Structure 1
Amino acid sequence: MLNRFKSVVENVMGGIQSIPHNTEKAGNPESLEIKYAYARPDFLQLTHEEVHVSADHASRPILVPRSIERLPWNAGYAEVINGGKSKYNEDQAKAVQFMLKPPCVQPNSEDNRVLSKKKTEPVELKHITTTNLSIKNIPCTYFAIFDGHAGTGAALMAMNLLDYHVKEKLLDCIDLILSKKGLLPPQSPGAEQNSIYAATPRYGMTSKESSISVEDLVCGALEAAFVEMDNHIARERTTFRIIGGCTALVALFFMDKLYVANAGDCRAVIVKDGTSIQMSKDFTPESERQRLQYLGYLQPELLHNEFTHLDFPRRVHKKDIGKRMLYRDAQMSGWAYKTVEEGDLKFPLVFGDGKRARVLATIGVTRGFGDHDLMVHDSNIHIKPFLTPVPEVKVYDMTSCKHSEDDVLILGSDGYWDVTSNEKTVDLVLESLKHYHKGDQSRYTRLAQDLVMFARGLLKGRAWKTEGDKSASGDDITIFAIPLYRYKPLNLGKSRTSQTNSIPNS
Structure 2
Amino acid sequence: MCVTDAEQVGTERPSSGVNNTKPWPMHCEFLQNQMGNPDKESALTGTSDRTRSGNSFPLESISEDAAVIDKKENPATFAPALRSGEWSDIGKRPYMEDTHVCIHDMAKKFGCSFLNEEAVSFYGVFDGHGGKGAAQFVRDHLPRVIVDDSDFPLELEKVVTRSFMETDAAFARSCTLETSLSSGTTALTAMIFGRSLLVANAGDCRAVLSRQGCAVEMSKDHRPSCTKERKRIEALGGFIDDEDYLNGLLGVTRAIGDWHLEGMKEMSERGGPLSAEPELRLMTLTKEDEFLIIGSDGIWDVFTSQNAIDFARRKLQEHNDVKICCKEIVEEAIKRGATDNLTVVLVSFHLEPPPPVVFQRPRFRRSISAEGLQNLKCLLEG
Q: TM-score, normalised by structure 2?
A: 0.64
Match of 2:165 among 209, 220, 227: 227
Whole-Å Cα distance in 2 between the matches of residues 74 and 275 of structure 1? 20
Give the letter for the 1:92 counterpart: T
Matches within 5 A, 1:256-271: 256-271=195-210
Match of 1:93 among 96, 100, 105: 100
Give the letter for the 2:347 counterpart: I
Match of 1:477 among 335, 342, 348: 342
| Number of aligned residue pairs | 260
Give the letter for the 2:264 counterpart: I
Whole-Å Cα distance in 1 between the matches of residues 330 and 123 of structure 2? 18
1:423 equivalent in alignment to 2:306? yes
1:290 equivalent in alignment to 2:180? no
Whole-Å Cα distance in 1 between the matches of residues 130 and 91 of structure 2? 14
Match of 1:386 among 265, 268, 273: 273
Give the letter for the 2:287 counterpart: K
1:243 equivalent in alignment to 2:182? yes
Whole-Å Cα distance in 2 between the matches of residues 453 and 157 of structure 1? 27
- Contact 1:90–1:152 under 8 Å retained in 2: yes
Match of 1:172 among 132, 151, 162: 151
The alpha carbon displacement at 1:101 in A equals 2.3
Q: Give the corresponding residue for 2:241.
A: 351
- Contact 2:87–2:327 under 8 Å retained in 1: yes
Whole-Å Cα distance in 1 between the matches of residues 350 and 167 of structure 2? 31
Residues 166 and 173 of structure 1, relative CA distance in 2, 3 Å threshold: closer
**SS in structure 2 of the partner of residue 423 of structure 1:** helix
**SS in structure 2 of the partner of residue 280 of structure 1:** coil
- Contact 2:146–2:152 under 8 Å retained in 1: no
Whole-Å Cα distance in 2 between the matches of residues 421 and 76 of structure 1? 20
Q: Give the corresponding residue for 1:402.
A: 287
The alpha carbon displacement at 1:389 in A equals 0.7
- Contact 2:213–2:313 under 8 Å retained in 1: yes
Give the letter for the 1:392 counterpart: E
Whole-Å Cα distance in 2 between the matches of residues 485 and 74 of structure 1? 8
- Contact 1:90–1:155 under 8 Å retained in 2: yes
- Contact 1:92–1:155 under 8 Å retained in 2: yes
Structure 2 portions without partners, runs of 5+: 1-26, 29-80, 266-271, 353-382
Give the letter for the 2:131 counterpart: G
Q: Render the CA deviation track for 1:368-404: whole Å, top value 9, x for unaligned.
A: 11100113xxxxxx22221111000101202xx2157
Q: Give the corresponding residue for 2:128.
A: 148
- Contact 1:403–1:485 under 8 Å retained in 2: no
Residues 431 and 172 of structure 1, relative CA distance in 2, 3 Å threshold: closer
- Contact 2:83–2:322 under 8 Å retained in 1: yes
Whole-Å Cα distance in 2 between the matches of residues 256 and 426 of structure 1? 21
Give the letter for the 2:305 counterpart: N
Whole-Å Cα distance in 2 between the matches of residues 256 and 427 of structure 1? 24
Q: Render the CA deviation track for 1:285-306: whole Å, top value 9, x for unaligned.
A: 111111111222xxxxxx6xxx
The alpha carbon displacement at 1:88 in A equals 2.0
Whole-Å Cα distance in 2 between the matches of residues 173 and 139 of structure 1? 12
**SS in structure 2 of the partner of residue 426 of structure 1:** helix
- Contact 1:403–1:484 under 8 Å retained in 2: no
Residues 277 and 446 of structure 1, relative CA distance in 2, 3 Å threshold: same
Whole-Å Cα distance in 1 between the matches of residues 252 and 309 of structure 2? 27
Q: Give the corresponding residue for 1:281.
A: 220
- Contact 1:154–1:242 under 8 Å retained in 2: yes
Give the letter for the 2:234 counterpart: Q
Q: Give the corresponding residue for 1:78.
A: 87
- Contact 2:326–2:344 under 8 Å retained in 1: yes
Give the letter for the 2:167 counterpart: M
The alpha carbon displacement at 1:476 in A equals 0.2
The alpha carbon displacement at 1:358 in A equals 0.5
Q: Between the two proteins, what is the percent identity of the paired residues?
A: 29
**SS in structure 1 of the partner of residue 343 of structure 2:** strand
1:364 equivalent in alignment to 2:251? yes
Q: TM-score, normalised by structure 1?
A: 0.49
1:158 equivalent in alignment to 2:120? no
Whole-Å Cα distance in 2 between the matches of residues 144 and 153 of structure 1? 16
- Contact 2:224–2:240 under 8 Å retained in 1: yes
Whole-Å Cα distance in 2 between the matches of residues 290 and 387 of structure 1? 12
Match of 1:452 among 330, 333, 346: 330
The alpha carbon displacement at 1:418 in A equals 1.0
Whole-Å Cα distance in 1 between the matches of residues 202 and 351 of structure 2? 26
The alpha carbon displacement at 1:138 in A equals 3.8
Whole-Å Cα distance in 1 between the matches of residues 305 and 258 of structure 2? 30
Whole-Å Cα distance in 2 between the matches of residues 486 and 158 of structure 1? 30
Superposition RMSD on alpha carbons, in Å? 2.2
Whole-Å Cα distance in 2 between the matches of residues 95 and 260 of structure 1? 14
Q: Give the corresponding residue for 2:156.
A: 218
Structure 1 portions without partners, runs of 5+: 1-34, 37-71, 103-134, 178-216, 297-302, 304-348, 376-381, 458-465, 467-471, 488-506
Give the letter for the 1:289 counterpart: R
Q: Render the CA deviation track for 1:48-74: whole Å, top value 9, x for unaligned.
A: xxxxxxxxxxxxxxxxxxxxxxxx944
